[in-house]
């Protein structure tokens, strides 16, 4: 349900930002449009390319959706998490790393140049920007002295970690757009050259799985960002989600070489320098 209403919020929000009407016919203010779209997609014929690897072709969207869902196990909601562990932060990083396999399997198994290029782009992009994301996580862990997300939220009752870790938080926010393949880093799904990227050959229910996985991952990474830097409350999570919509409505797509060069020659050296400063200051603050 969250994914369904995130899609309608995105479409209505983008239409307002771009001075368009947006969906407003199916249900009051278009609120039933996501369900109509889901029904349409599910009823479409499920086509599988003849030369594809059937097992991996079917398994890929399942992996993507499952990894997007199980990541919620450690996210604190109202101060509680389904799986409250002392290493829940490491669990989040591990699950985000596993999501690469669904994309890679989809691109390779379809036996199409468009899907393969999209999968390779996405894998390289996610691995590169995950280093920046991991550095931000490490900064939070060093400052709080814990890997428990529930404990991290509790430690922010007085002041958000955004304040002492503002530069790391900004770089972390940039990396989450690349991790989720969203504008302006939506190169793996660049319609102008790759049709729909790694999911080009998927249709019907498998495509719905990829669609659900994408938006569930956006909600998950927004909740994680809020947990790490903004106190883990609902309002800050909704703000991060609005940021995704706002950026998509306003910024153009960057070139792939700019994306990768910017990561390895600019952002990663900066984030490592900032992390070194944080590590040096932590003993002084203790």
Structural domain span for residue 273 = 44-285
Q: Are 106 and 63 in contact, with CB atoms under 8 Å apart?
A: no
Count of H-run helices and E-run strands, the chain: 12, 0
284 has a pLDDT exceeding 90: no
Identify whether residues 6 and 102 lie together within a single domain: no
Cα dist from 215 to 7, 101, 211, whole Å: 8, 17, 7
Query: Are 37 and 97 found together in one domain?
Result: no
Count of structural domains within the chain: 2
- Residue 80 backbone dihedrals phi, psi, to 5 degrees: -130, 150
Per residue in 36-93, pLDDT (tens digit) is 888 888 888 888 887 888 888 889 889 989 999 999 999 998 778 888 888 899 999 8
In terms of domains, do 108 and 241 share one?
yes
Check residue 101 and give its pLDDT: 87
Do residue 260 and residue 174 come from a single domain? yes
23 shares its domain with 59 = no
Q: Are residues 54 and 33 part of one domain?
A: no
Same domain, 11 and 56: no
pLDDT digits (tens, 9 = 90+) for 180-208: 888 888 876 666 666 667 788 888 888 88
One DSSP character per residue, 145-185 reads S---HHHHHHTTSSS-TTTTTHHHHHHHHHHHHHHTT-TTS
| Together in a domain, 136 and 50 | yes
Of the chain, the end-to-end C-alpha distance in Å amounts to: 43
Going by C-beta distance under 8 Å and a sequence separation of 6 or more, which residues neighbour residue 276?
none
- Per-residue burial over 45-64, b = 16 or more CB atoms within 10 Å of its CB, e = otherwise: eeeebeebeeebbbbbbebb
Same domain, 11 and 153: no
């Amino acid at each position: 349900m969250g994914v369904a209403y995130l899609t309608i919020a995105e479409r209505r929000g983008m239409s307002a930002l771009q001075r368009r009407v947006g969906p407003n016919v199916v249900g009051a203010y278009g609120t039933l449009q996501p369900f109509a779209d889901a029904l349409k997609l599910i009823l479409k014929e499920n086509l599988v390319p003849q030369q594809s690897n059937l097992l991996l072709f079917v398994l890929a969207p399942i992996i993507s959706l499952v990894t997007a869902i199980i990541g919620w196990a450690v996210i604190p909601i109202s101060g509680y998490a389904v799986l409250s562990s002392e290493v829940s932060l490491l669990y989040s990083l591990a699950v985000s790393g596993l999501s690469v396999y669904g994309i890679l399997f989809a691109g390779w198994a379809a036996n199409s140049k468009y899907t393969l290029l999209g999968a390779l782009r996405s894998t390289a992009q996610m691995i590169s920007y995950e280093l920046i994301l991991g550095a931000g996580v490490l900064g939070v862990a060093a400052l709080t002295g814990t890997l428990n997300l529930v404990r991290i939220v509790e430690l922010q009752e007085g002041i958000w970690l955004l304040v002492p870790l503002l530069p790391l938080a900004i770089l972390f926010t940039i990396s989450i757009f690349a991790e989720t393949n969203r504008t302006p880093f939506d190169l793996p799904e660049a319609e102008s050259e790759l049709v729909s990227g790694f999911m080009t050959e998927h249709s019907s229910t498998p495509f719905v799985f990829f669609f659900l996985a994408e938006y569930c991952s956006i909600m998950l990474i927004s909740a994680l960002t809020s947990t790490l830097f903004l106190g883990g409350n609902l309002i800050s999570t909704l703000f991060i989600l609005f940021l995704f919509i706002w950026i998509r409505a306003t910024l153009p797509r960057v070139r792939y070489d700019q994306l990768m060069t910017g990561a390895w020659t600019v952002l990663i050296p900066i984030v490592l320098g900032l992390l070194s400063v944080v590590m040096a200051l932590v003993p002084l603050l203790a």
